[in-house]
Amino acid sequence: MALQQLTGTLKILIVDDHELTRLTLKLLLAKQPFVSSVLEAMDGSHALVQVERHLPDIILMDLHMPVMDGWTASQKIRQEFPHIKIIAYSAVESKHLQHLLDQGIIDAFCDKAICSEQILGSLRSVCRV
């Protein structure tokens, strides 16, 4: 299903320990016609609570965070909620990313340094059925 057909229907959860990053992504995503709401979490453990409470469609997951990192949170979410799409993002590319993709733990990866169009492109990519 293409994003153009999803007007106002997607709930997106942003998981990042940097408040400014969450705010910037929230402002970008809230303007998109396919987004109904944008939720936030400051770490992986908070993300688990948000997922259980709100059942987002897509999660933008930072991989490097205190308390619970994005790798651990993504694995836990995938086990319990396999239908939720997870896009991992980080400023540092990791050798573990390919493993996460191969194992189906994440659906896509974005570098934090990329532009907004590439983030939106990743969202489009994981929403296609």
Strand order in the sheet with 108-111: 35-41, 10-15, 58-62, 85-90, 108-111
Q: Is residue 128 part of a domain?
A: no
% of the chain with per-residue pLDDT over 90: 45
Residue 51: other Cβ atoms inside 10 A = 21
Q: Is residue 43 part of a domain?
A: yes
Q: Is residue 117 part of a domain?
A: no
CA distance 24 to 124: 19
pTM of the model: 0.83
pLDDT (0 to 100) of residue 33 = 86
Q: Is residue 60 part of a domain?
A: yes
Check residue 81 and report its DSSP letter. -
The SS3 of residue 35 is strand
Instruction: Provide the number of structural domains found in the chain.
Output: 1
The CATH number that applies at residue 76 is: 3.40.50.2300
Q: Is residue 118 part of a domain?
A: no
Whether 88 contacts 106, CB under 8 Å = yes
Domain that holds residue 80: 3-111
pLDDT (0 to 100) of residue 73 = 96
Residue 23: other Cβ atoms inside 10 A = 13
Q: Is residue 78 part of a domain?
A: yes
Tens digits of residue pLDDT in 87-123: 988 776 666 777 778 888 888 888 777 756 667 777 7
Tens digits of residue pLDDT in 13-33: 999 999 988 998 899 889 888
CA distance 125 to 85: 10
Provide the mean pLDDT of the chain. 84
Closest CA to 63 of 29, 95, 104: 95
Whether 44 contacts 73, CB under 8 Å = yes
Q: Is residue 107 part of a domain?
A: yes
pLDDT (0 to 100) of residue 129 = 36
Q: Is residue 31 part of a domain?
A: yes
